[in-house]
């Protein structure tokens, strides 16, 4: 390659390669660790940003994977440095990991900026860790490769495959309806998470890992490898070898992430029947990269790309099956005619070259485009007087009768209000009601928690009802399903129209027309708006106060205003 870097061009050279007082300090302190000149001289320094923690079960193996990445870096002549970052275990972090995605993005960016790092390996996978790491890496702009944690093995209960999240919601309703026992519920708890790795349904983790690969940020096929498969450590080592070459080639994120790369990612998202959460993350990542992606782009693309991955919650199988079926390379090969195959990737080759020869091995898991698993698309973006800046629904996971529906609202002011009512046997609710949850958005939640798949009222569950129209400014887990209208923007907490809904108001959703409306007169809407009193701030101090002051709405990607701009930041002075 003609523009290959020389050792003195390396960013780390400013710390380690010059002869002055400060570089004496840097080198003498590396010697303190036990390194010597052979470890660093003329070698790219590779920062391994590791989101391992004791309390993140999806990332249990990342401590070991970091060692495997280091092996690859050393084989290729680099100097690996592991830097721990916030872990964001989806099921453990409260009130929601979304409150901290931008925190991880800032941490990633500043860890890379403040240290003598030439290239980055990003270790993550559990939901928000993928966008957090990538947003930070984009803003820093070094050569970067993403190593996805990979999905855990299939769950198992009484011979049936169990999927993370999706089967929890399903069997929880059966338990509420009195159809399964406490002992059986306990068996499910023992069988649903059988190995390290991320959720193995098409949740946010599997969706975002696939999106990262589709954008060109991972080695081909990496995102589909189960965490416990021996291909996984080999992929980690290969990534370590590759990042060293990427530094010499100066293959930065900017050279990989252009408009076409993001559009490829959205197409893959649709074909996978991916998580609604990914929409927020893709918008945020695109802004960081200086690429304009709007909700309308998602809607437009969703109309042209069928869901072909038969994975729960839209389909029947799990990510382990998807891997055996050929994984993401095979899926992208099916989509070949829709993708821009000329996009550059971290391999130094194009997407088209990366998927050359890929084949589908299990046709019931990855369908051809001519035989999609759903006649409905993975995403619909709704607009109307209830969501002037948009709302999201996942039509492929909705009971068909609810795709066009009008019913009276049953409005809850916040989650606690909803939770206090939903189990009441005397609740005045029918299957035609529209459940409305307010104050669950980016500022109101706070952090836009995954409350959007509100429980079906127990009274109706006992009658056999399993889906209802639900509307909120919250998100829902990618493993969730049902007629849930999410991400209503602007949110109710800042005075969006959702704040003005009262129980009994008619709400109409028409997915084919992409509309959502509160069917009250305009004058009544204006009267309620004039009478609305803003709620008090959620936080007086700390990170929460900063979050509240700077967080954007869902349609903007929920990034901080001071981070989303595609502007240069100076390199640190070394004095
Ligand atoms: Fe980590 Fe689902 S809890 S990916």
Q: What is the per-residue pLDDT across 461-484, written as a single tens digit (0 to 9) for each?
A: 999 999 999 999 999 987 788 999
Separation of CA 55 and ligand 1 centre (Å): 12
Provide the pLDDT for residue 378. Answer: 86
How many whole angstroms separate alpha carbon 557 and alpha carbon 435? 25
Q: Is 126 in the pocket of ligand 1 (CB under 6 A)?
A: yes
Residues 6+ apart with CB under 8 A from 448: 96, 98, 440, 441, 442, 473, 474, 475, 487, 491, 554, 558
How many whole angstroms separate alpha carbon 245 and alpha carbon 239? 10
Separation of CA 125 and ligand 1 centre (Å): 8
- Which is the closest atom of ligand 1 to the Cα of 477? 2
Q: Is 127 in the pocket of ligand 1 (CB under 6 A)?
A: yes
How many whole angstroms separate alpha carbon 135 and alpha carbon 109? 8
- Which is the closest atom of ligand 1 to the Cα of 204? 4
Q: Provide the 3-class DSSP secondary structure of residue 441.
A: coil
Provide the pLDDT for residue 2. Answer: 59
Separation of CA 57 and ligand 1 centre (Å): 8
Q: Whose CA is nearest to atom 2 of ligand 1?
A: 199
How many whole angstroms separate alpha carbon 192 and alpha carbon 171? 11
User: pLDDT averaged over the chain?
Assistant: 96
Give the pLDDT confidence of 202-241 residue by residue, as tens digits. Answer: 999 999 999 999 999 999 999 999 999 999 999 999 999 9
If one residue of 96, 205, 226 were mutated to test the ligand 1 pocket, choosing by the most ligand atoms within 8 A of its CB, it would be: 205
Provide the pLDDT for residue 286. Answer: 97
If one residue of 51, 88, 90 were mutated to test the ligand 1 pocket, choosing by the most ligand atoms within 8 A of its CB, it would be: 90
Q: Is 90 in the pocket of ligand 1 (CB under 6 A)?
A: yes
- Which is the closest atom of ligand 1 to the Cα of 89? 1
Handedness of CA 69, 71, 76, 77 (dihedral sign): positive
Q: Whose CA is nearest to atom 3 of ligand 1?
A: 90
- Element spanning 129, H or E: helix 129-140
Separation of CA 546 and ligand 1 centre (Å): 26
Q: Is 203 in the pocket of ligand 1 (CB under 6 A)?
A: yes
Q: Is 91 in the pocket of ligand 1 (CB under 6 A)?
A: yes
Separation of CA 196 and ligand 1 centre (Å): 10
Residues 6+ apart with CB under 8 A from 467: 398, 399, 402, 456, 482, 483
- Strands (E) in 255-386, as ranges, are 380-384
Q: Is 516 in the pocket of ligand 1 (CB under 6 A)?
A: no
Separation of CA 477 and ligand 1 centre (Å): 10
How many whole angstroms separate alpha carbon 150 and alpha carbon 147? 9
Q: How many residues does the chain have?
A: 575
- pTM listed for this prediction: 0.96
Q: Whose CA is nearest to atom 1 of ligand 1?
A: 126
If one residue of 51, 55, 58 were mutated to test the ligand 1 pocket, choosing by the most ligand atoms within 8 A of its CB, it would be: 58
Q: Is 387 in the pocket of ligand 1 (CB under 6 A)?
A: no
Q: For residue 432, which of 396, 456, 458, 397 has the smallest C-alpha distance? A: 456
How many whole angstroms separate alpha carbon 475 and alpha carbon 398? 16
- The pLDDT profile of the chain, 575 residues, written as one tens digit per residue, is 458 999 999 999 999 999 999 999 999 999 999 999 999 999 999 999 999 999 999 999 999 999 999 999 999 999 999 999 999 999 999 999 999 999 999 999 999 999 999 999 999 999 999 999 999 999 999 999 999 999 999 999 999 999 998 899 889 989 988 999 999 999 999 999 999 999 999 999 999 999 999 999 999 999 999 999 999 999 999 999 999 999 999 999 999 999 999 999 999 999 999 999 999 999 999 999 999 999 999 999 999 999 999 999 889 999 999 999 999 999 999 999 999 999 999 999 999 999 999 999 999 999 999 999 988 888 999 999 999 999 999 998 889 999 999 999 999 999 999 999 999 999 999 999 999 999 999 999 999 999 999 999 999 999 999 999 999 999 998 778 899 999 999 999 999 999 999 999 999 999 999 999 999 999 999 999 999 999 999 999 999 999 999 999 999 999 999 998 888 899 999 99
Provide the pLDDT for residue 386. Answer: 98
Separation of CA 420 and ligand 1 centre (Å): 27
Separation of CA 51 and ligand 1 centre (Å): 13
How many whole angstroms separate alpha carbon 144 and alpha carbon 113? 13
Separation of CA 238 and ligand 1 centre (Å): 25
Separation of CA 203 and ligand 1 centre (Å): 8
Q: Please, what is the Cα angle at 207 between 287 and 48, to 5 degrees?
A: 70
For residue 6, count other CB atoms closer than 10 A to its CB: 9
């Amino acid at each position: 390659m003609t523009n290959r870097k020389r050792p003195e061009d390396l960013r780390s050279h400013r710390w380690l390669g010059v002869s002055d007082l400060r570089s004496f300090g840097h080198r003498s302190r590396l010697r303190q660790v036990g390194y010597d000149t052979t470890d660093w001289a003329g070698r790219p320094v590779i920062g391994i940003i590791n989101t391992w923690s004791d309390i993140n079960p999806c990332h249990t193996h990342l401590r070991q994977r970091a060692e495997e990445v280091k092996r690859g870096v050393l084989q290729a002549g680099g100097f690996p440095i592991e830097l721990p970052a916030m872990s964001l275990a989806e099921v453990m972090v409260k009130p929601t990991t979304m409150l901290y995605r931008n925190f991880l993005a800032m941490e990633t960016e500043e860890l890379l900026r403040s240290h003598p790092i030439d290239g980055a390996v990003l270790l993550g996978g559990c939901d928000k860790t993928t966008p957090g790491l990538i947003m930070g890496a984009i803003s820093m702009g070094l050569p970067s490769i993403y190593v996805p944690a990979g999905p855990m093995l299939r769950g198992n209960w009484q011979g049936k495959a169990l999927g993370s999240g999706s089967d929890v919601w399903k069997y929880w309703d059966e338990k509420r309806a009195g159809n399964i026992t406490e002992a059986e519920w306990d068996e499910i708890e023992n069988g649903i998470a059988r190995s390290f790795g991320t959720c193995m349904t098409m949740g946010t983790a599997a969706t975002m890992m696939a999106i990262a690969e589709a954008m060109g940020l991972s080695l081909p096929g990496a995102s589909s490898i189960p965490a416990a498969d021996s291909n996984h450590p080999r992929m980690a080592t290969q990534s370590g070898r590759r990042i060293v070459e990427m530094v010499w080639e100066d293959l930065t994120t900017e050279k990989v992430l252009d408009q076409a790369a993001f559009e490829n990612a959205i197409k893959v998202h649709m074909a996978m029947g991916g998580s609604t959460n990914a929409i927020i993350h893709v918008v945020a990542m695109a802004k960081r990269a200086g690429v304009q992606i709007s909700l309308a782009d998602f809607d437009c693309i969703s109309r042209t790309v069928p869901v072909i991955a038969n994975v729960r919650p839209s389909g029947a199988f799990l990510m382990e099956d998807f891997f055996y079926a050929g994984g993401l390379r095979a899926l992208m090969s099916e989509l070949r005619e829709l993708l821009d195959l000329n996009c550059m990737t971290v391999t130094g080759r194009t997407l088209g070259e990366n998927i050359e020869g890929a084949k589908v091995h299990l046709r019931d898991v990855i369908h051809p485009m001519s035989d999609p698993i759903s006649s409905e698309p993975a995403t619909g973006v709704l607009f109307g007087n209830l969501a002037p800046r948009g709302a999201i629904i996942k039509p492929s996971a909705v009971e068909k009768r609810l795709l066009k529906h009008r019913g009276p609202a049953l409005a809850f002011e916040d989650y606690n209000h909803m939770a206090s009512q939903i189990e009441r046997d005397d609740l005045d609710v029918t299957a035609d009601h529209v459940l409305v949850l307010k104050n669950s958005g980016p500022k109101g939640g706070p952090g836009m928690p995954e409350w959007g798949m509100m429980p079906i009222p127990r009274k109706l569950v006992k009658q056999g009802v399993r889906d209802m129209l639900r509307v909120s400014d919250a998100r829902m887990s990618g493993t969730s399903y049902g007629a849930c209208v999410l991400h209503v923007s602007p949110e109710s907490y800042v005075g969006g129209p959702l704040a003005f809904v009262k129980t009994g108001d008619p709400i109409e959703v028409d997915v084919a027309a992409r509309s959502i409306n509160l069917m009250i007169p305009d004058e009544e809407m204006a009267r309620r708006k004039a009478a609305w009193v803003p709620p008090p701030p959620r936080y007086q101090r700390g990170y929460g106060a900063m979050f509240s002051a700077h967080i954007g709405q869902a349609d903007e990607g929920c990034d901080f205003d001071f981070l989303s701009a595609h502007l240069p930041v100076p390199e640190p002075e070394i004095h």
